[in-house]
Amino acid sequence: MTVNMSSLANGLTVLSDEMPHLKSTAVGVWVSAGSRHEKAGQHGISHLLEHMAFKGTSNRSAVAIVEEIEAVGGELNAATGLEHTSYYARVLEEDLPLAIDILGDILVNSSFDPDELHREKHVILQEIGASHDMPEDRVFDHLQELAFPGQPLGRTILGTPDTVSDFNPSDLHQYMDTHYRGPSMILSAAGAVKHEELVALGKEALSSFDAEESPLPTPATYLGGESRDLQRDLMEAQVILAFEGRSYKDKDFYTAQILATMLGGGMSSRLFQEVREKRGLCYSVYAFHWGVVETGLFGIHAATGAENLEELMPVITGELARAAEDLTEVELNRARAQIKAGLLMGMESPSARAGQLARQKLLFGHPKSLEEMIDSVANISVADVRDLAGNLITGSPPSMASVGPVENLMWIDEISSRLGCAPAATEEQIKAVGGGL
C-alpha cells in the first residue's frame, strides 16, 4: 500500500491509498469541526448540520441524493464527533466520480430548506430522548460533563431540546462558513482509486471552500468530580471511574493506549479476569482511553447488579493500584499483539483505511506508515506502563459517574483516599473554566 498526498489551492488535503485487489472505493470528506468547536448557543449544531447535509441541495432533492447513490449500489453516510465531522461513501470503482460529485454537492450547495429543517430537528429531538432512555449512553454523558464542566468538551454531541429547536438555516450557513474551510478539510479515499483522478475530482467538487484557517476550539481543562443518577427501577447499574488521560500529541499517548488494553482490553485482561471471571461481579467491564489536542480521558466502565456494587469498586481500585506495581512483560506483549492486529485488520477495510488516513492527517499533520504506527508501541517498556499507571491515578482527581440503583456504590472521597489521587477540583476552579462556553 502506498499513500499519496496532495493539496488543492485552497489548502484542502487529498489523500489516497490504492488497494489494487479491490473493485470498490471508500471515499469521504473529514472536517476538523465537531461538538467542541460550538459556542454555548450552538450546542448540537455540528450534529444537526451533518443530518441536514442529506436533506437537499440546489441541485438535488433529499430523495434524489439517496436514489442516485443507491442506483449504483453505493452507500452514503456521515458522523459527528468531538473534534471532527465526516461525510463518506462506498461505491464501485467506476462510480467514484458520482460519489465525489454528491459529497461536494451536499457540502457546497445544501439548501437547508426550512421544512426539511423542521422535520430533522424533530428527528434529533427523538434521538435525544432515546439517549436518555439508554443508561450506558447517559453515564458517558455524565462523565464527560464531570471531567470537563462548563466547557464545550463537556457537552453532549446531540445538543439539548432547547438549543436544537432554536436553530434556523442562517445558523447552519454561518457555522459552515466559519469552520468548513480548506485547510481544515481532508478528501480521503482507499481501495480502487487513482490519486490523480481523485485530485482532479476533488478540485472540481471542493475548490470553492475558503482558504483561510478555521478558528481553533476553546482549550479544555480536566477537573473531575462525582455524579450519581439514582434510578431504582433499573436492574443494572452503570459505573465509570476515570482520570485525566493523555493528549494524542503527548509522548505517553500510546503508553496509555497500551495500559487500557492491558487492564481491560479483552477477555484476557486483568479486569475481565478478576472482576468477571473470578468473582462474577459484573457482566461487562473494560478500560478505555481517548485523547484530544490538549488532554484526554482514561477510564474503566462496569455494568453490574446493585447487589455487587459494594464489592465491585474495592476490586477495581485494587487492580488499578496493582497496575503501577506488577504489570508483566507477558501482558505487555499480548497488548502489543492486540493493537498490531487491530491496525493490520483496519488496513484491510477501505472504509476504515480512508478514515484512518484522514484522522491521522488532522491529528498529527501527516498519515502514519504502518511501521511508524507499530513502532509507537514496540518501544514501550513495562516500566513505562507502570510509571504511567501511577501517574494517571495520582496526577489528577478522579471522575466517577453512575446511573441506576447505585446506593451502595463507594463514594469518590474513599476512592481518592485508597488510590492517593490528587484533590478534587474546587468550586472556584470549576467556575473559572465556565468562560469556555
Kindly compute the dihedral angle of the four CA atoms of residues 393, 399, 401, 405, in this order, to the nearest 10 degrees. 60
436 pLDDT higher than 70: no
How many Cα atoms sit within 13 Å of 303 on the Cβ side?
12
Entry field: residues in the chain: 437
The pLDDT of residue 371 is 87
- Positions of CATH 3.30.830.10 in the chain: 3-206, 225-436
CB 204 within 8 A of CB 369: no
Cell 483522478, located at residue: 197
Q: Which of 38, 50, 120, 145 is catalytic?
A: 50
Assign 3-class secondary structure to 176-243: HHHHCCHHHEEEEEEECCCHHHHHHHHHHHHCCCCCCCCCCCCCCCCCCEEEEEECCCCCEEEEEEEE
Which residue in 60, 2, 11, 17 sits closest to 198, CA to CA? 17
Kindly report the average pLDDT of the chain as a whole number. Answer: 94
In this predicted model, what pLDDT tens digit does every residue of 29-59 receive, in sequence order? 999 999 999 998 999 999 999 999 999 999 9
Give the burial string for 206-220 (b: 16+ CB within 10 Å, else e).
beebeeeebeebbeb
CB-based contact 263:247 (threshold 8 Å): no
Q: Which CATH superfamily is domain 225-436 in?
A: Metalloenzyme, LuxS/M16 peptidase-like (3.30.830.10)
Average pLDDT over residues 406-424: 91
pLDDT of residue 432: 72
Sign of CA pseudo-dihedral 155, 160, 164, 167: negative
Residue 1: pLDDT band with limits 50, 70, 90: low
Cell numbers that stand for 105 in this block: 454537492
243 vs 283, residue with greater confidence: 243
Contact 335, 389 (CB under 8 A): no
Q: 206 with 187: CB under 8 angstroms?
A: yes
Task: Note the pLDDT of residue 71.
Answer: 98
According to the CATH classification, is domain 3-206 in 3.30.830.10?
yes
What are the distances in angstroms from CA 424 to CA 151, 227, 320, 400, 408? 17, 13, 19, 12, 21
- Is 132 buried (19+), middle (13-18) or exposed (0-12) by CB count in 10 A? exposed
d(CA 73, CA 90): 9
Cα separation, 286 vs 239, in Å, equals 11
Active site residue 212: no
Give the cell for residue 144.
464527560
Residues 81-124 pLDDT 10s: 999 999 999 999 999 999 999 999 999 999 999 999 999 999 99
pLDDT digits (tens, 9 = 90+) for 244-260: 999 999 999 999 999 99
What is the pLDDT at residue 434?
61
| DSSP strand pairing (185-191 vs 13-18) | parallel
Q: Kindly report, residue by residue over 334-388, the tens digit of the pLDDT.
A: 999 999 998 888 888 999 999 999 999 998 899 988 888 888 889 999 999 999 9
The reported pLDDT for the residue numbered 435 is 47
- The string of DSSP codes covering 374-402 is HHHHHT--HHHHHHHHHHHHHHS--EEEE
* DSSP β-ladder status, 225-230 and 236-244: unpaired
75 DSSP assignment: E
Summarised one tens digit per residue, pLDDT across range 117-153 is: 999 999 999 999 999 899 999 999 999 999 999 999 9
Residue holding cell 436492574? 235
Write the pLDDT tens digit of every residue in 294-348: 999 999 999 999 999 999 999 999 999 999 999 999 999 999 999 999 888 888 8
What is residue 183's predicted lDDT score, i.e. its pLDDT? 97
Which pLDDT score, from 0 to 100, does residue 374 have? 87
Q: In this model, does residue 211 exceed pLDDT 60?
A: yes
When pLDDT is averaged across residues 203-216 and rounded to a whole number, the result is: 96
